[in-house]
Structure 1
Amino acid sequence: MVSRDHKLSMRKQCELLQLSRSRLYYQPVGESAENLRFMEMIDKQFLETPWYGSRQMARHMKRNNHKCGRHRVRRLMRLMRLVPIYQEPNTSKKHPQHKIWPYLLRNVVVDRPNQVWCADISYIPMRRGFLYLVAIMDWYSRKVLAWRLSNSMDADFCVEALKDALAKHGKPEIFNTDQGSQFTSGAWIDRLIDAGIKISMDGKGAWRDNRMIERLWRSLKYECAYLNAFETGSEMRAGIGKWLTYYNAERPHSTHGILTPDEAYASKAEPMRLAA
């Protein structure tokens, strides 16, 4: 039984941290232990072969003597938001009533910080469940500007990360995402429009663009999530926060030689342009 004083204390902490209590307390996701084990296998294989759809993934599972047929593989991949890389992709689950914005980055040379930002969502496994992680990245420097964890796929945690990035780093000229319902929602789009940011969405011929942030997911999962097998949401938040600090501040990115993302971002950054 949680005491009244403890509840009041946690409520005050939530207010100070600007967190909702639903984000602070991890709620286990209702999947069986077998499905969670299959999801981790599928996720690891997808990092190696991101072109695998449900049919090929089911064949992979069968070849490795796992009783996980195509229908179950397809449902789990949708739950994990794993979409195979095709040249004409359905980049993520669209909302039929949301507007899709044009792709603005064709033949654009990205050569400075805050010229283009991007965002993506990934499934992050735990020992007995999983959470979703959204990250906002500066395209030029590869610096992770903001991130949030959630136990559901609503748009709220994405908008929270967006507000955090705009408050700390100003605003980009262009913001590029896939066509997922979180990034076409009114709350997300209105925030970008109010800040005077051009909206770009991946479409036909732009399937390679998302590979940049997917490399972040690969590193984070192998170097942090899979090694630690977090028990709780608070453990995962602390662990991911520590790893992302290391990624930004200490890990040189191949795109910029010996420079870390923080150094690459600072090397050409102009004075912060505040969002409206």
Structure 2
Amino acid sequence: MYRIPRQSYTTEFKQEAVRQVEIEGKSPAQVARDLGIAEQTLGNWRNAYKAGKLQPGTGKPVTPEQMELSKLKAENARLKMEVEIPKKSDGVLRKGIAVKYVWIDGQRDLYPLQALCEVLGVSTSGYADWKACGGPTQWLSDEQMLSLIRSVHAEFKGAYGSPRITVELKARDIPASKERVRKLMNKHGIRARHKRRYKVTTDSKHQLPIAPNLLDRQFATTAPDQAWTADITYIPTREGWLYLAVVMDLYTRMIVGWSMDSRMSKELVMNALRMARFRRKPKPGLLHHSDRGSQYCSHDYRALLVECGMQASMSRKGNCWDNAPMESFFNSLKNERVFHEDYATRGEARRDLFDYIEAFYNRKRRHSALAYQSPAQHYANWLLKENRAA
């Protein structure tokens, strides 16, 4: 039987997970679901936090004042939830009971079931009966379908166009065709967020050694951790730029490593690679592809690749198509999240990027290159297939 690699988590990952519970007031069950971790594991991290061994974002001991502030923020988050649920459910409140159940089903990862049912005026037992009967079985009217389309569109913060919304509706057992969803969205002006250009961060004007293009646009691999791609982008905040370095596994399209800093240094990209190695523990021989940026060509980065047993591959000069999957990820990140936010601080941007990468992109976002599965689901399906074949 194929052995599932034991998952490892960096200190930064643990700090952010704990911060969402202790500072933002989210439920442990919700955070565990969003980040794909066991609730007991999160509980262990929270115990370390309360013992003063893990402080979200700083690594410093927790003071009594900070503990009290955490409690106040948790209460504020609870009150905010009581306001947000009615606001988000606007347009669903007046629909038929089946539409209400469908909307509740899509919000269960965000809010407690009891709160959702109370706001929409239905019982939890009625919802349970609806689920037991297999959910919606009748074709919905245009008005009902439009209400659900708007709900899914809002749930994913405008990131989804008609193809992904259609897949999402079908995954919730809602009978929907791509053409019908497309027509309703066009008629009512519902669309995915638009693209914008962003500046290039690659500095290839240097005399450092360049690796050959071994990947050569062969983006289709047969298993996880055969080939990774890496790159850097920038995030604007009112404090200045925040630079994000990421490492992607080509088979799953999962972001396996990331790092953020106010400086675009070689340490930034090295920390992203260290995280990826720590989490995935790949076998020697993995192909590592990047652009010709000075950070990736530096002696220290090349030495780290040798230490990891990885082969270096680099894009041709000025050719973004040689690293197309990474360009696609950055486009999604910017268009679906960053361009629609105004980050006051780098810390605020860090928290939102963590949410996008770990909670949304890796575990929820349906990827067109993966038959509209999320990277996490694609990886889970591969593990299941390997275990059956063993």
- The interval holding the TM-score normalised by the smaller chain is 0.5 to 0.7
Aligned 8 A contact 1:171 1:197 in 2: no
CA-CA distance at 1:128 after TM superposition: 4.9
Larger radius of gyration: 2
Shift of 1:205: 10
Aligned partner letter, 1:241? F
Query: What is the alpha-carbon distance in structure 1 between the residues aligned to residue 279 and residue 287 of structure 2?
Result: 17
Question: 2:205 matched to 1:98?
Answer: no
May I ask how many residue pairs the two structures share in their alignment? 196
1:91-147, CA deviations, whole angstroms, 9 ceiling, x for partnerless residues?
x32253311111112374522211100111111112453211111101121101111
Larger RCO of the pair (alpha carbons < 8 Å, separation 6+): 1
Greater Cα offset, 262-271 or 250-259: 262-271
1:163 maps to a residue whose letter is: R
* Alignment TM-score, normalising by the size of structure 2: 0.46
Please say if 1:116 is aligned against 2:227. yes
Structure 1 counterpart of 2:197, one-letter code = F
TM-score of the superposed pair, with normalisation by structure 1: 0.63
1:253 equivalenced with 2:361 (yes/no): no
User: What is the CA deviation profile of residues 1-20 of structure 1, one whole-angstrom value per residue up to 9, with x for unaligned ones?
Assistant: xxxxxxxx9x9877749xxx
Tell me the distance in 1 between the aligned counterparts of 2:317 and 2:203: 15
- SS of structure 1 residue aligned to 2:337: helix
- Aligned mates of 1:93, 1:107 — CA distance in 2: 21
Relative to 1, partners in 2 of residues 1:161 and 1:205: Cα closer, same or farther, differing over 3 Å?
Answer: closer
Structure 1 match to 2:280: 169
Equivalent position to 2:302, from 179, 185, 189: 189
Structure 2: which 5+ residue stretches go unaligned?
Answer: 1-51, 61-194
Residue of 237, 250, 257 corresponding to 1:139: 250
**How many Å separate the matches in 2 of 1:12 and 1:190?**
32
Code of the aligned partner of 1:166? R
Q: RMSD value over aligned CA atoms?
A: 2.9
Q: Contact between 1:117 and 1:137, CA under 8 Å: does it hold in 2?
A: yes
- Taking the TM superposition and a 5 Å limit, the aligned residue runs for 1:38-53 are 45-46=196-197
SS of match in other structure, 2:282: coil
Q: Aligned to 2:321, which of 181, 189, 208?
A: 208
Bigger proportion of residues as helix:
2
Task: Give the 3-state SS of the residue equivalent to 1:255 in structure 2.
Answer: helix
Distance 2:317 2:260 in 1: 29
Q: Measure the CA separation in 2 of the matches of 1:234 and 1:157.
A: 16
Three-state SS of the structure 1 residue aligned to 2:336 is helix
1:126 touches 1:225 (CA, 8 Å); kept in 2?
no
Pick closer, same or farther for the CA change 1:189–1:227 going to 2, 3 Å: same
What is the identity percentage for the equivalent residue pairs of Structure 1 and Structure 2? 30
Cα distance in 2 between the residues matched to 1:200 and 1:127 = 36
